Amino acid sequence: MKRLHKLVLAAVAVKALAAAYLFVLLPCLRRWGASDDEVARALPGDDLVSDPLYVTTHAIIVAAPAADVFPWLVQIGQNRGGFYTYDGLENLMKLDVHSAETVHPEWQDLRPGEDYVTLDPDESMKMTIAVLDPPHAFVIRSGVPGEPPQAPGDFFKGEIDFSWAFVVEPIGAASSRLLIRCKGSWRKTLATAFVRRLGLEPVHFIMEEGMLRGIRSRAERAVHR
């Protein structure tokens, strides 16, 4: 009877932890740093994924004007300035990412609908430049330039309809607010729901939180140099 009691208590504890993870921690991770208004309001690129299964809005204050933050966003990509996050973790996946420490003029000239960002060295994961509105918004979406956007399909094959929006809003003359909104859609299955909550969401948060801090440190260092 005592053993049964312990098993019941353990089961209750596991259920409580699972509920806390699903209903408390994950919602916080999806909106790290963002206010209620920032989470609720529309941002550039919101119309690119029509029926998203996954939406996050992350934000941070940068002690640098928007015009000094935006150039770092434009050169994002494995094929250019990296992602300003944890390169070592990315390179464990053989992504060959090397985040830039300076703004490169040769990476600044982009054309919406024609140029792209690649997420991997083989360029099998291309994202088209969808919005380029300096120094306010830089948005990329899944798919190759000149072709229809990736339709939602098999998550495990990378068939993800995906948009990634980077928005810079001024706060006075010397600071700005950097927001990143991610939207994703794929064919919904039990397996993808499991992987999303236990794999995608925590990993995405860790890497994007690192990206926000990485962009902030580079922009602030350049301004105060």
Quick one: which H or E segment has residue 144?
none
Q: What is the pLDDT of residues 167-220, one digit of tens each?
A: 999 998 899 999 999 999 999 999 999 999 999 999 999 999 999 999 999 999
Evaluate if residue 15 carries a pLDDT over 80: no
Q: What is the residue range of 218's domain?
A: 31-224
Interval 94-115 mean pLDDT:
95
In a domain, 1, yes or no: no
What confidence category does residue 25 fall into, taking pLDDT thresholds of 50, 70 and 90? confident
Q: How many Å apart are CA 225 and CA 215, to the nearest integer?
A: 15
Interval 151-161 mean pLDDT:
94
Q: How many Å apart are CA 93 and CA 173, to the nearest integer?
A: 40
Lookup result for tokens 């050169």: 75
Total domain count for the chain? 1
Quick one: pLDDT at residue 95?
92
Evaluate if residue 94 carries a pLDDT over 50: yes
Quick one: pLDDT at residue 12?
44
Quick one: which H or E segment has residue 186?
none
Q: What is the pLDDT of residues 80-92, one digit of tens each?
A: 999 999 999 999 9
10 in helix, strand or coil? helix
Higher pLDDT, 55 or 148: 55
In a domain, 17, yes or no: no
Quick one: pLDDT at residue 8?
46
Q: What is the pLDDT of residues 111-140, one digit of tens each?
A: 999 999 999 999 988 999 999 999 999 999
In a domain, 171, yes or no: yes
In a domain, 20, yes or no: no
Q: Does the predicted model carry a pTM greater than 0.85?
A: yes
Quick one: pLDDT at residue 7?
52
Q: In terms of DSSP H, where are the helices of the chain?
A: 2-20, 26-30, 36-40, 66-74, 87-92, 190-195, 201-224
Of the listed ranges 15-19, 81-85, 98-102, 140-144, the least confidently predicted one is: 15-19
Q: What is the pLDDT of residues 32-49, one digit of tens each?
A: 999 999 999 999 999 999
For the domain that residue 146 is a member of, what is the CATH number? 3.30.530.20
Evaluate if residue 17 carries a pLDDT over 60: no
Quick one: pLDDT at residue 6?
53
What confidence category does residue 16 fall into, taking pLDDT thresholds of 50, 70 and 90? low
Q: Are strands 175-185 and 54-62 parallel, antiparallel or unpaired?
A: antiparallel
In a domain, 5, yes or no: no
